[in-house]
Structure 1
Amino acid sequence: MTGPCLAAKPVGDTIPRCRPRPPGHQRMSRLFQLQENCLRAMGHSDDVDITEHRALGLKHISSLLFVISAQYPLISYVVYNRNDMEKVTACLSVVLTNMLTVIKITTFLANRRIFWEMICLFRNMDEQSSQREETHYVAEANKLASFLGKAYCLSCGLTGIYFMLGPIVKIVGSSWQGTTYDRELPMPMKFPFNDLGSPGYEICFLYTILVTVVVVAYASAVDGLFISFAINLRAHFQTLHWKIANEEFALSEKQSQARLKRIVDYHVLLIFLSRKLRAIYTPTVFGQFVITSLQVGVIIYQLVTNMDSVMDLLLYASFFGSIMLQLFIYCYGGEIIKAESLQIDIAVQLSNWYLASPNLRRSLSIIILQSQKEVLIRAGFFVASLANFVGICRTALSLITLIKSIE
């Protein structure tokens, strides 16, 4: 058995760069389709070398400033309607979403080189996996990642479409019925000029649509890359389990030591990648938990107070589903990495360890000790896990009951 990418072991705090495109590049492109789609959503090409991204860096900075600029009209709307709780909460949910997108764009911008190098390393690891049993785990993992990524992008896209189509549907309906309709923007915004008369309304409408597209593209891309990394890490941990469980310790001492060294190097590489993933996503995970907790409160209030409006109910239900799916992606990714990293000792126990020499058994005991340390995706006191996701869902249900009892 050969290791998947043991020539690419971490040295210090660096990650190897991409290799030239292999003959099987088309197969790999299909395998890592989610990663490529995420990069394209942010304007990247898979063929751009990581040393040629200076122009793309300026593009990301421009996108960041563009999204930040939307905070002014949003906050102005909150201040202008400060005595109307329904309008304030409707705007706050959008303000919080915008803030979270700013965090995600900043995270990607600050760690852009590391994102690309991790993508390259995962692809190199897959390229060098020569056994069918090994590649099977990664192929299945990428199918699942692609499904979750598409579901999340669809959810974000539908929410954005609902926001944009709402005013258009009302304008068309009013014209058809011959009634008067007060213009409103897709997002609750207040500009320092007449944004309800022409041409101000048209300009603000276009500006709002562009902000929505940028927010949806970057949020989907950064979250999609996370779930792709997390699910691929789980697949490689599963590959490691398979290698340990099927290791032949009855070979000669020299052969067994060489094979065990490759297993240990593989384990070290996966732990290194897990910690690197946690490091670059720490601000995003922290912001995701804090902002989602706040969003749950304001969106639940909107849902409960707009039960009589089908259009508003669909809008806020879609919005709520989108932010919860967003949180689920991080909690699910953290959960599967934690669970699979703890299964290494079970793989050792299922192997023919009793055939190994005393020296090899001591090495196996070190692997067991190392695997008993949880690999967590966390930020401060927030841990990305399904238990915390369920806790926030319970909080949402409690808020519904509380608001209904107050009414």
Structure 2
Amino acid sequence: MSSKENFLEVQKGTIALLGFDLFGESRKMWLRPYRAVNVFGIATLFPFILAAVLHNIKNVMMMADAMVALLITILGLFKFSMILYLRKDFKGLIDRFRLVMANESRQGEEYAEIIRTANNQDQRVCSIFRTCFLIAWALNSVLPFVRMGLSYWLTGHYEPELPFPCLFPWDIHILRNYAMSFVFCAFASTGVVLPAVSLDTIFCSFTSNLCAFFKIAQYKVLRFKGSTLGESQTTLNRVFALYQTSLDMCSELNQCYQPIICAQFFISSLQLCMLGYLFSITFAQTEGVYYASFIATIIIQAYIYCYCGENLKTESASFEWAIYDSPWHDSLGAGGASAAICRSLLISMMRAHRGFRITGYFFEANMEAFSSIVRTAMSYITMLRSFS
């Protein structure tokens, strides 16, 4: 079984639905733009959602509901535009990952197993992440019927509702207009789901494989001692080359994802404020389940970036301890070659001590940032519940 057999398998399907092919040999990567009609649909829906926000500006609950939809739309369109803008960078990174995986797998079955395990774990996480988003999309499509059904049951009449709060220039009380508007909103909402799932899971896969490369470098440095000092130095040079290549790929990945992470955390913070307010009001109602699942989806998105950033920082910094645990003390004999080996190890330890940090320009994506987000969100919701 190939060590790269499962590399980006989940992402291939989701990003293909947007018309992209980042995995083939063709230089034209956006082969089927017509498949992104759902993204163009959500862009068309944007003015109607904005109109709903402005129309309900005096009704705080309805305005907050519309604002959440507006923020979701903005984030979905931004992520799609970033896929379009960074497609060549992603293609280059994918090719580099494949090359490094192939090179390392050829050097030993234990290295191939490390890469294979990383990809299998990554694909399981990405599948769960995709499922969470699909459930959120399904709940968003079903919620209008739940609201209308409860309203009719409690009051004997109902107002037509849509997956996204929209203010259309036509009357949605007419069944034909409502059916058309509902189908349009439900279909357009996939234009938010697909870019989010594609970008977030690609990041997860890239960082998972980078962690595998750092583990291989650690494993190799623990066994670098050869039969001669020259052989040991040659082995070390290859290990340092792998570590440096991994760091370079980390820098390239971080450069691509910095604006995405910054936008994700900024918009998610605003969404959590709005959803926290809506959840505190509908806590004991059926709608509260929907808002709770929505909050969970946003937190999972933040968790993906923070967890992957934390893992990458830990694995890149662990190279320092791998060097310390290596047989460096066997190279302390006399001679220039021995001194060169010890000097190389010392310099590498100093660099590895810093590790690598995934950032969103002015903050670091790690578990400390995630804990801060969750604590703040829970405190905010608890405070609002105490006032209700």
TM-score scaled by structure 1?
0.87
Contact 1:145 1:227 in 2 (8 A): yes
Q: What is aligned with 1:271?
A: 247
Q: What is aligned with 1:369?
A: 350
Q: What is aligned with 1:117?
A: 92
Q: Structure 2: how far apart are the matches of 1:178 and 1:303? A: 23
Superposition map of 1:205-244 within 5 A: 205-244=182-221
Measured against aligned partners, the alpha-carbon deviations of 1:45-78 in whole angstroms (never above 9, x if no partner) come to 576324022534x458766544333221111111
Superposed displacement of residue 174, structure 1: 8.5
Contact 1:171 1:181 in 2 (8 A): yes
Does 1:183 pair with 2:160? yes
Q: Structure 1: how far apart are the matches of 2:14 and 2:177? A: 34
Give the count of matched residue pairs: 380
CA RMSD of aligned residues (A): 2.4
Q: Given the alignment, which residue of 115, 118, 131 partners 1:138? A: 115
More off after superposition, 196-205 vs 31-40? 31-40
Change (3 A) 1:387 1:373: same
Change (3 A) 1:71 1:230: same
Does 1:358 pair with 2:339? yes
Q: What is aligned with 1:391?
A: 372
Contact 2:10 2:123 in 1 (8 A): yes
What letter is aligned with 2:50?
Answer: I
Q: Structure 2: how far apart are the matches of 1:361 and 1:263? A: 14
Q: Percent identity?
A: 24
Q: Given the alignment, which residue of 165, 186, 196 partners 2:173? A: 196
Superposed displacement of residue 208, structure 1: 0.5
Change (3 A) 1:54 1:152: closer
Superposition map of 1:31-42 within 5 A: 31-42=7-18
Q: What is aligned with 1:3?
A: none
Q: Given the alignment, which residue of 360, 363, 382 partners 1:379? A: 360
Q: Structure 2: how far apart are the matches of 1:157 and 1:28? A: 26
TM-score scaled by structure 2?
0.91
Contact 2:71 2:271 in 1 (8 A): yes
What letter is aligned with 1:340?
Answer: E
Measured against aligned partners, the alpha-carbon deviations of 1:241-295 in whole angstroms (never above 9, x if no partner) come to 11111211x4323322221111111011000010111000011100111111111
What letter is aligned with 1:115?
Answer: F
Superposition map of 1:328-367 within 5 A: 328-356=303-331, 357-367=338-348
Superposed displacement of residue 320, structure 1: 0.6
Measured against aligned partners, the alpha-carbon deviations of 1:309-337 in whole angstroms (never above 9, x if no partner) come to 12x01111111110100010001111111
Query: Which structure would you say has the larger RCO, counting Cα contacts within 8 Å and 6 or more residues apart?
Result: 1
Q: Which runs of 5+ in 1 are unaligned?
A: 1-23
Q: What is aligned with 1:51?
A: 27
Change (3 A) 1:88 1:178: closer
Superposed displacement of residue 38, structure 1: 3.9
Superposed displacement of residue 173, structure 1: 8.0
What letter is aligned with 1:29?
Answer: E
More off after superposition, 97-106 vs 296-305? 97-106
What letter is aligned with 1:231?
Answer: S
Q: What is aligned with 2:335?
A: none
Superposed displacement of residue 212, structure 1: 1.1
Q: What is aligned with 1:162?
A: 139
Measured against aligned partners, the alpha-carbon deviations of 1:165-200 in whole angstroms (never above 9, x if no partner) come to 123456678899995432111211111222332432
Does 1:257 pair with 2:238? no
